[in-house]
Chain A
Amino acid sequence: MAKKAKSRIINVRLLSMAMTGYFYTFTRARTALPMSMIKYDPIIRRRVLFLEQKRKGK
């Protein structure tokens, strides 16, 4: 059986760098660069850096 084709778009998880475990999810093109942005973390109520989590098993 032929392998299923990988989708062009992937869902990624942007993890708060404040170690609260809070995250945002975004979709991006598989070929694009990993995402990072400054966004609001409601647990500590500040704007902090969010970095894309490395995907497992890929």
Chain B
Amino acid sequence: MAAAATKNIQLALALPTRLRTFLARYPPASILPAGANAETTKTAYQEEAPNPFMPMKHPVTGRWHDPKYSLRRQAELVKMARDHGVEELLPFTNKGTETRLRKRVELGLRVKGTGVGQRVKGHKHERQLAVKMDKRRNAMLEMPNLIREWKKVGKRDWTKFPK
């Protein structure tokens, strides 16, 4: 028992200071000393925010408060924890490996607008290209008739000029 505890302490000391501080402030139930009740032995930090990675609704005012740790700092902690193999000790975060992988599977290397039911907006001239070409094609199909008519009327009497 004592040997296992010393080993754990040694392992904990090998962690980077930031990670150690974090785990001291927000210890998960799995590393509490045996027999301690997770409900009653909360640190002051945990009392304030059970999951410091999530936004929280203030119990009194009902206002939403930002997470205690920004997304950037969450990602840094996750990376650090992953490198030391202790990621499961962190509370749930969207920056966690599991969520990240799930998102990657869900979305792939998605280019905006190419998903199901979406479309690429494109430049204005690209959006109007089809209409423009249609207009041109129809005008060209009408061209022999127009020229015939123009020749028949004669350019002296022609009155239909474009705007």
Contacts and interface: CB of A to CB of B under 8 A. Distances in A.
Interface in A40-58: 44, 46, 48-49, 51-54
B77 to A, nearest CB: 59
B94 to A, nearest CB: 51
Contacts of B155: 33, 35-37
B143 interface: yes
A19 B161 contact: no
Given A51-B161, A54-B161, A19 B150 contact: no
- Chain A interface size range: 10 to 19
A25 to B, nearest CB: 15
A36 B163 contact: no
B143 A53 contact: no
A23 to B, nearest CB: 10
B146 A49 contact: yes
B143 A51 contact: no
Interface stretch (B29-37, B99-107, B112-120, B134-142): B134-142
Contacts of B92: none
A52 B140 contact: no
Contacts of A9: none
B125 to A, nearest CB: 12
A26 to B, nearest CB: 13
B140 A53 contact: no
Interface of A: 15, 17-20, 33-38, 44, 46, 48-49, 51-54
Interface of B: 135-136, 138-140, 143, 146-147, 150, 155-156, 158, 160-163
